[in-house]
């Protein structure tokens, strides 16, 4: 493609992709290969020395995955991206070059339950720690940052409640401390929100969700804004100091804005090995082609269903940020101008038992531990995705025991309302 400025939907179809030079195939092929033949010995040495860009081994780079990386980076407004095996892998990949034993990350209390567990339990095994803060309280974020903090982490639209983070305000706090802001943009997608435009340094996604959109693959990606000065302090030696594995090469000095991207491939994927397979990349590329169309439908359906639920006497409250009653309503236009997404929770009168009956009575909604599917999905977060947390952590995350989480799909909204109506009747009888 030329240097012209294209719209989102054009980029979703074309960014990163070109007809196959050998066959002329218009769709990006699945390059199902482990290794790649070098032109000669000098070519091989240059690739391994990071003196030339190319394909070596599919744990590091693959042509199908490379197209996906370029496409997601383009849609997010970044300079590069690194794909990996899952959203959880993407979070570790994002932190890996920044952290070292004894260092901490300041994170939002409103996170997916698996991320809370990862941050409270798993990262301890690396010698890292996390400080949990209400990200609506900017002073609390400032107070939590200390000399050992190396990053700030939040979700743009928080799972499960659909709460919207004031990204610019949080980014300003991170910038003042000389720290990168990492934003999980899974629930919003770049169609609704582009965190880099609000000051984010890195953006992570679970490709498993809206970007693929059909529940067929597992994958993750880290997008690099290219805007952070990794050499401004001595806090990030992996990126600013000499790298022994590459004869003293300094990533930031050598690769400039692409330092994080090259480190993610040359060190992260090389040593952690959390590689995305080319078939999964192919499915995600096909999914992204219709991302704009799907997100418009997701949002319009969610808005209609949330409004209906809010008026229903069998429902105590709805957390959808697109409702005027939401405390986050005024942030929608600022952070997510195309809509508040399609993920939210609602509280069923009758509490926990009524939630269980509701889930078991639904016919169209699928009871699964996923979101961002074309199909409408439902789950009781407190007993599943957030089960490892104590009740205070659950409530802080928006996974109260009396609520269910819904991910609204692209079906006919009247059919979805009818399904909820009959299920609520049984649950609250």
Average pLDDT over residues 235-262: 97
282 and 344 belong to one structural domain: no
Give the domain CATH number at 87: 3.40.640.10
CA-to-CA distance for 91 and 85, rounded, in angstroms? 11
- Give 5's pLDDT tier (boundaries 50, 70, 90): confident
46-76 b/e (C-beta count within 10 Å ≥ 16 → b): bbeebeeeebbebbbbbbbbbbbbbbbbbbb
Question: In this structure, is residue 12 part of a structural domain?
Answer: yes
- Give 2's pLDDT tier (boundaries 50, 70, 90): low
Q: Is-contact 158 111, C-beta < 8 A?
A: yes
Give tens-digit pLDDT for 260-315. Answer: 999 999 999 999 999 999 999 999 999 999 999 999 999 999 999 999 999 999 99
Average pLDDT over residues 133-161: 97
Does the pLDDT value for residue 399 go beyond 90?
Answer: no
214 and 357 belong to one structural domain: no
Residue where a domain terminates, one of 255, 287, 319: 287
Q: Which is it for the CA torsion 122, 205, 381, 192, positive or negative?
A: positive
How many distinct structural domains can be found in the chain? Answer: 2
Residue labelled with tokens 């400039």: 256
- Give 362's pLDDT tier (boundaries 50, 70, 90): very high
Q: Is-contact 164 154, C-beta < 8 A?
A: no
Q: What is the DSSP string of 26-95?
A: SSPP----SB---SSHHHHHHHHTTSS----BTTT--HHHHHHHHHHHHHHT-SEEEEES-HHHHHHHHH
- Give 256's pLDDT tier (boundaries 50, 70, 90): very high
281 and 295 belong to one structural domain: no
Q: Is-contact 27 21, C-beta < 8 A?
A: no
pLDDT of residue 382: 79
186 and 329 belong to one structural domain: no
Question: In this structure, is residue 305 part of a structural domain?
Answer: yes
Return mean pLDDT, the chain.
Answer: 95
Q: Which domain holds residue 46?
A: 8-98+180-287
Question: In this structure, is residue 107 part of a structural domain?
Answer: no
Question: In this structure, is residue 232 part of a structural domain?
Answer: yes
Using N-to-C axis directions, what is the helix angle for 63-76 and 278-288, rounded to 10°?
40
Q: Is-contact 79 261, C-beta < 8 A?
A: yes
Residue where a domain terminates, one of 287, 309, 325: 287
Q: Which long-range contacts (CB under 8 A, 24 or more apart) does 3-12 make?
A: 8/75, 8/190, 8/191, 8/292, 9/292, 9/293, 11/71, 11/74, 11/75, 12/71, 12/75, 12/288, 12/289, 12/290, 12/291, 12/292
Question: In this structure, is residue 151 part of a structural domain?
Answer: no
309 and 237 belong to one structural domain: no
Residue 132, preceding bond cis, omega within 30 degrees? no
Give the domain CATH number at 317: 3.90.1150.10
Enter the DSSP assignment of 266: I
Give tens-digit pLDDT for 55-66. Answer: 999 999 999 999
187 and 262 belong to one structural domain: yes
348 and 264 belong to one structural domain: no
Q: Is-contact 167 140, C-beta < 8 A?
A: no
234 and 186 belong to one structural domain: yes
Question: In this structure, is residue 137 part of a structural domain?
Answer: no
Question: In this structure, is residue 131 part of a structural domain?
Answer: no
Q: Is-contact 140 134, C-beta < 8 A?
A: yes
CA-to-CA distance for 188 and 344, rounded, in angstroms? 12
Residue where a domain terminates, one of 254, 270, 287: 287
């Amino acid at each position: 493609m030329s240097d012209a400025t294209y719209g989102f939907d054009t980029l979703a179809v074309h960014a990163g992709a070109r007809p196959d030079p050998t066959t002329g195939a218009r769709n990006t092929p699945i390059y199902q290969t482990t290794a790649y033949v070098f032109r000669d010995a000098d070519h091989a040495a240059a690739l391994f020395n990071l003196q030339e860009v190319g394909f070596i081994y599919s744990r590091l780079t693959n042509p199908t995955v490379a197209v996906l990386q370029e496409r997601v980076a383009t849609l997010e407004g970044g300079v590069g991206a690194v794909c990996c095996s899952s959203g959880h892998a993407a979070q570790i990949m994002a932190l890996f070059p920044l952290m070292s034993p004894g260092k901490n990350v300041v994170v939002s209390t409103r996170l997916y339950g698996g991320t809370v567990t990862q941050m409270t339990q798993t990262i301890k095994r690396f010698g890292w720690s996390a400080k949990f803060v209400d990200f609506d309280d900017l002073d609390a974020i400032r107070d939590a940052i200390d000399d050992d903090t190396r990053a700030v982490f939040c979700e743009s639209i928080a799972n499960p409640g659909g709460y919207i983070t004031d990204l610019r305000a949080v980014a300003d706090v991170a910038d003042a401390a000389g720290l990168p802001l990492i934003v999980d943009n899974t629930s919003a997608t770049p169609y609704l929100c582009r965190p880099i435009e609000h000051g984010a340094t890195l953006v992570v996604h679970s490709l498993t969700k809206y970007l693929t959109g059909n529940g067929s693959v597992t994958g993750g990606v880290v997008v690099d804004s290219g805007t952070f000065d990794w050499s401004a302090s001595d806090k990030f030696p992996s990126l600013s100091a000499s790298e022994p594995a590459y004869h003293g090469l300094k990533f930031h000095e050598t690769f400039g804005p692409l330092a994080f991207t090259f480190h993610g491939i040359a060190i992260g994927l090389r040593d952690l090995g959390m590689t995305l397979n080319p078939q999964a990349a192919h499915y995600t590329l096909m999914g992204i082609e219709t991302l704009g169309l799907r997100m418009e439908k997701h949002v319009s359906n969610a808005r209609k269903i949330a409004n209906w639920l809010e008026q229903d006497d069998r429902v105590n409250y709805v957390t959808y940020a697109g409702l005027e009653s939401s405390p986050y309503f005024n942030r929608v236009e600022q952070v997510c101008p195309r809509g508040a997404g399609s993920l939210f929770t609602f509280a069923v009168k009758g509490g926990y038992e009524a939630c269980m009956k509701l889930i078991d009575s639904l016919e169209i909604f699928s009871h699964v531990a996923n979101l961002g599917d074309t199909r409408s999905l439902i789950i009781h977060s407190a007993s599943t995705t957030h089960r490892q947390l104590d009740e205070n952590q659950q409530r802080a995350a928006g996974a109260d025991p009396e609520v269910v989480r819904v991910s609204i799909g692209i079906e006919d909204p009247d059919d979805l309302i009818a399904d909820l109506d009959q299920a609520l009747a049984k649950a609250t009888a």
